Every structure is written in C-alpha cells, then in structure tokens.
C-alpha cells in the first residue's frame, strides 16, 4: 500500500510541472498571436488613422472648444435644463456659479455618452480585421497551423482588438480630463474631472461596451472573406449597438452610482454570453471553409 501511495504521489508531482509547462506554452502562443496582430495594426495607416480621428475629435477638440467658449463668453443660462434633471445630478451643479454650470454640465455629464463610441468603434474596426484581414493578406493558412487549441486562437484574436480599444479609451480619457481641466481653469479655478460617474464609465462600462462589440464583430470577421466585407456586414450590427450604448449612457448619467454599475454589469453579461457562444462555435475547419 505504501509503495502504491508513493507511486501515486510521484505521478502527481510529475504531472504538475507538465501541466504548468503546457499552460505556459499555450499562453506564449496566444501572446505571439496578439503581438503579431498589434504590430500589423501599428503599421497600417488605413487602420490607425480612422481609429484615432474620432477619439481626438471627441476627447480633445470638443472639450477644448467648450472650455474656450465658457472662458471667453458671457455665462450661458442652463437653469431651465437643470430643473429637468434628477435631483442627484442637478444639485451639485446648481450650487455652482453660472459660468461654471455650463462647463460642468457639458464636460462632466453630457459628453460622457459620446465617449462610449470610442471603445465600441475601435474594437469593431480591429475585430473586423481579426480573421477577414488574415484571409485578405493570405496569411490565414499559417495562422490555422499554429500549435494551439481553437479556443485559445479565438481568445487571442479577441485580445488583439480588446487591448488597443481599452488603451485608446483610457489614454483618450486622460487627454480629455487634462484638456478640459486646463482650458476651463480660468472659469473653474480647480480640477473638476473626473467625476464619480466618469470613473464608472471608464473603469466599468467602457470595457464592457468594447467586449460587446468584439463579441459581435469577431464572429462576423470569421464569416467574411475580406476586411471590407466584414466592416460592411458589421456596420449593420455595430451601428444599432452604438445608438444603444449612447442611450444607455444617457440614462447612466441620470441615475445613482449603484444603478450605473448595474447597467455596466448587464452589458458585461451580454458581452460574455456572445463571446462564449462565439468561442464554442469557432473551429479551424469552419474558418478554412470560408477562405
């Protein structure tokens, strides 16, 4: 009995390093796919320029213009608008000076719905290129022969779009907060961003929206033959999602933080469900059949 137990223990101790080695090999393969895709994106001006244009416009140019107008124009009366807002949103603004009210209302609240366009758009653009771009560049065959499970390949392609979408969103918000605070300093004389709701948007809702776009577009990309076709097919799906995200964000800014967190949780659940279904249905054979 002792020898059997010893043998069993020895077998277990030998199996553990092998399992760790196998997991490390799978992770290295996924990391190689992600690195290759990020390099391809960085070298493609056709992908990078449109991907950066909208964030720069929404998160740099727009807050600069609003702050500049507020600093060099007479106070804009927003009292009537504030009376239609929930008390929890309106009270912190109504206590401010008239010129400060417009700056905080627009940059602190009304621009936030537009922010969700950024992670959704970027994840959609990159996910459209995930598999369709490989087909168009004639590199799909080498991708399909990588020594990694189908599920790992699918998740690596998701990460290749999710990481840049999140990075651009977070860096874009830092730029937004910096520009808005700087240009509004003559009016505010203090830092007013980020607000608590902005933090919920950045840390919780924006990644969920990016994942939601990925869950849709990666499956579209796997079925399309070219990146252009994937963008055309995905546009019919992503545009309603953009309007839905903006509508949710508008409501998000008019509710308390627990409700805002709950809305983000619902988006996460939908995104995870779509990604799980996509991973379950994804196979190399089905992908190769559409080349």
pLDDT the model gives residue 82? 72
Gap between the Cα atoms of 180 and 65, Å rounded:
9
pLDDT the model gives residue 224? 65
pTM of the model: 0.81
Instruction: Identify which has the larger pLDDT, 15 or 107.
Output: 107
Q: How far apart are the first and last CA of the chain?
A: 58
Burial class of residue 23 in the structure, from the number of CB atoms within 10 Å of its CB (0-12 exposed, 13-18 middle, 19+ buried) = exposed
The token duo for 229 is: 């076709």
Gap between the Cα atoms of 15 and 9, Å rounded:
10
pLDDT tens-digit series, residues 18-74: 788 777 878 888 888 888 888 887 887 777 887 788 888 888 898 888 778 877 777
pLDDT tens-digit series, residues 201-260: 899 988 998 898 888 887 777 666 666 666 666 665 566 656 655 655 555 556 667 777
pLDDT tens-digit series, residues 274-289: 899 888 888 877 666 6
Highest mean pLDDT among 130-144, 193-207, 219-233: 193-207
The answer to whether the beta carbons of residues 270 and 212 sit under 8 Å apart is yes
Instruction: Identify which has the larger pLDDT, 251 or 104.
Output: 104
The token duo for 49 is: 């320029």
Highest mean pLDDT among 130-139, 170-179, 186-195: 170-179
The answer to whether the beta carbons of residues 253 and 113 sit under 8 Å apart is yes
The answer to whether the beta carbons of residues 206 and 245 sit under 8 Å apart is no
Look at the block and give the residue holding tokens 């990159």: 126
Helix or strand run (H / E) with residue 116: none
């Amino acid at each position: 009995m002792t020898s059997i137990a010893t043998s069993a223990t020895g077998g277990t101790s030998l199996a553990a390093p092998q399992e760790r080695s196998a997991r490390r090999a799978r992770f290295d393969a996924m990391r190689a796919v992600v690195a290759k895709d990020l390099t391809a994106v960085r070298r493609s001006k056709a992908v990078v320029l449109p991907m950066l244009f909208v964030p720069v416009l929404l998160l740099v140019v727009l807050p600069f213009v609003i702050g500049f107008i507020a600093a060099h124009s007479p106070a804009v009366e927003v009292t009537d608008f504030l009376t239609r807002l929930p008390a929890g949103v309106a009270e912190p603004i109504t206590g401010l000076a008239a010129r400060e009210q417009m700056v905080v209302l627009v940059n602190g609240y009304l621009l936030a719905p537009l922010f969700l366009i950024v992670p959704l758009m970027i994840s959609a653009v990159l996910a459209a290129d995930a598999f369709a771009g490989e087909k168009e560049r004639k590199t799909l065959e080498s991708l399909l022969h990588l020594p990694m499970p189908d599920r790992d390949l699918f998740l690596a392609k998701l990460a290749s779009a999710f990481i840049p979408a999140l990075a651009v969103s977070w860096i874009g918000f830092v730029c937004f907060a910096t520009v808005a605070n700087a240009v509004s300093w003559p009016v505010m004389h203090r830092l007013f961003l980020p607000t608590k709701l902005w933090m919920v948007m950045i840390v919780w809702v924006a990644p969920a929206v990016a994942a939601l776009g990925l869950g849709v577009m990666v499956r579209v990309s796997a079925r399309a033959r070219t990146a252009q076709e994937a963008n055309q097919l995905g546009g019919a799906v992503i545009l309603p999602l953009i309007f839905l995200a903006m509508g949710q964000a508008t409501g998000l800014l008019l509710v308390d933080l627990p409700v805002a967190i709950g809305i983000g949780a619902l988006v996460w659940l939908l995104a995870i469900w779509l990604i799980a279904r996509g991973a379950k249905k994804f196979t190399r054979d089905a992908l190769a059949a559409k080349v």
